[in-house]
């Protein structure tokens, strides 16, 4: 993982601890054709029921997006400038934009407070 990707991954791990969300990093997305994409992270229970796959803006996002869609994931290419450091307000806005897809009533309290 490149240095800026590791910074994004680390920021999502901080978000996981602070916001009480489930994040897997790194995350390997394997397409049905066997192609593998090394993604920065998977944010569970946001975006689509399978979660949101996080990629860097510099990756071949079209290929990641196609594989993610095929497997039921939402995909997002994040700008390292905005996501390499954890900013609680900014990350909450992103998660609210992706929307909670977990069981109704089990969303984090900060999400319900919106």
How many whole angstroms separate alpha carbon 109 and alpha carbon 36? Answer: 35
Residue 97 lies in a domain: no
Residue 37 lies in a domain: yes
Mean pLDDT, to the nearest integer, of 70-97?
Answer: 95
pTM of the model: 0.93
Burial of 87 (0-12, 13-18, 19+ CB in 10 A): middle
Residue 30 lies in a domain: yes
Each residue of 33-56: pLDDT tens digit?
Answer: 999 999 999 999 999 999 999 997
Each residue of 12-34: pLDDT tens digit?
Answer: 999 999 999 999 999 999 999 99
Residue 82 lies in a domain: yes
| DSSP labels, 45-114 | TBSSTT-EEEEETTS-HHHHHHHHHHHT-EEEEEPHHHHSS--HHHHHHHHHHH-B-S-TT-S-HHHHT-
Range of the structural domain that residue 56 is part of: 3-92
Residue 101 lies in a domain: no
Residue 32 lies in a domain: yes
DSSP 26: S
Tally the domains of the chain: 1
Each residue of 63-82: pLDDT tens digit?
Answer: 999 999 999 999 999 988 89
């Amino acid at each position: 993982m490149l240095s800026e990707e590791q910074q994004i991954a680390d920021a999502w791990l901080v978000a996981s601890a602070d916001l009480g969300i489930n994040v897997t990093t790194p995350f390997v997305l394997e397409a049905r054709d066997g192609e593998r994409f090394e993604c920065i992270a998977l944010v569970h229970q946001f975006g689509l029921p399978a979660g949101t796959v996080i990629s860097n803006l510099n990756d071949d996002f079209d290929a990641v997006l196609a594989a993610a869609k095929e497997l039921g994931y939402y995909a997002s290419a994040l700008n390292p400038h905005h996501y390499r450091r954890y900013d609680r307000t900014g990350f909450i806005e992103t998660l609210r934009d992706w929307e909670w897809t977990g069981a109704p009533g089990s969303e984090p309290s900060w999400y319900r407070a919106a």
